[in-house]
Structure 1
Amino acid sequence: MDLFLQQLPTLLGVVVGALGSYLALVRSDQARFRREEAARWEERRLAVYSDYARSVKKTVTVTYRIAAELGCGTHPDPLPLEEARPLLAEANAGRDPSGEALLMLGSVDVVDRARAWVVTVMEMERYVREGGRDPEAWQALLVRQRAGREGYYTAVREDLGLPPGHSARWRLPVTEPVPDQR
């Protein structure tokens, strides 16, 4: 019995060390799982945010083309409204599922900014469907749409913890007309 009592502190040290190692491993695994789970949700949110932006941009692009046909815009591929109707319907049908996913996974701020952006896009669509031909009114809608898009992207970047991004306002060089050299 005397030998057992001499070995008892060593045995207790081994048990306490094993238990401590086990608890440290469990906590480490739990922390890794939480990090991986958070990363998976971030990836999903980024995919939802991107899908929604793409779906809204489809409508924007079609309205740009119609506006060019109406004489309000400068898109290089003008499109008559009658030919654009199926494209608008397709864009709207695609926006609904991506909007539902956005509502499920998006932060409150991102969803609010998305709504502000899409409301302006819907106004652009109504404008071209009604045959609007006022270039100044169209330009005002474009300014609001670009601000809405910028607000949406800013909210997305903040939600995902990304640094500020580009405003997407491309400054195109002013080109001078080429003189006629006959």
Structure 2
Amino acid sequence: MGSVVAQLPALLGVLIGTVGTIVATSLTDRSRWRRHQTVRWDERRLDAYAEFARALKEVHTIASRMIGGYLDREQEQAALTEAGFRHTIAWENVLLLGDGPTVTAARAWRDAVWQIERLARGAQTSEELPDLLHQANEARDHFYRAARDGLGVGGGSVAQAELLSSRLHRKTAAADR
């Protein structure tokens, strides 16, 4: 009995060390798993945002071409319809994976582009085009800002609305001369 009592501190040390190792390993594994899940969902979210932006920009570009009368209107109508389908699918991924501020910004951009699309389809007057384009560009800037904030992307502003607006005003002024 005396030898068991003498070995008790060593046994308690081994037991405490084992429990400590199990707890530390468990906490480390849990932390690693959470980091992995965060990275995984951030990658999926980035893909969803990029696909949405690409699809919506396609709708915007086709509608703008239709307003400008550059190509065959019937062909452009078909292209606009197809782009609208791709946009709808991409929108669902944004709704599923996006954070609140980014979804709100995406909705505002989508609504602004819809106004341009309505103009392209003849539902509005073309005098509204410069304002509609500026609103869509500002909404796009807001979407990118929200998406970058949500994903933790740094690097400063990537805003384009003011630059595009100033270019449009220079072109308009040059055409008026």
**TM-score past 0.5 threshold:** yes
Instruction: Give how far 1:112 is off.
Output: 1.2
Match of 2:12 in 1: 12
Q: Which runs of 5+ in 2 are unaligned?
A: none
Aligned partner of residue 93 in structure 1, secondary structure: helix
Q: 1:98-177 maps to which residues of 2 (within 5 A)?
A: 98-130=90-122, 134=126, 136-163=127-154, 164-168=156-160, 169=163
Instruction: Give how far 1:79 is off.
Output: 1.8
Q: 1:20-169 maps to which residues of 2 (within 5 A)?
A: 20-69=20-69, 78-130=70-122, 134=126, 136-163=127-154, 164-168=156-160, 169=163
CA deviations over 1:57-76 (Å, ceiling 9, x no partner) = 1101111212222xxxxxxx
Aligned partner of residue 25 in structure 1, secondary structure: helix
Instruction: Give how far 1:131 is off.
Output: 7.8
Q: How far, CA to CA, are the matches of 1:156 and 1:101 in structure 2?
A: 14
Query: Normalization by structure 2: what TM-score?
Result: 0.85
CA deviations over 1:40-73 (Å, ceiling 9, x no partner) = 111111111111111101101111212222xxxx
Q: Which runs of 5+ in 1 are unaligned?
A: 70-77, 178-182
Match of 1:3 in 2: 3
Query: Normalization by structure 1: what TM-score?
Result: 0.83
Q: How far, CA to CA, are the matches of 1:22 and 1:128 in structure 2?
A: 65
Please report the RMSD computed on the Cα atoms of aligned residues, expressed in angstroms: 2.1
Q: How many residues align?
A: 166
Q: How far, CA to CA, are the matches of 2:123 and 2:9 in structure 1?
A: 90
Q: How far, CA to CA, are the matches of 2:75 and 2:32 in structure 1?
A: 53
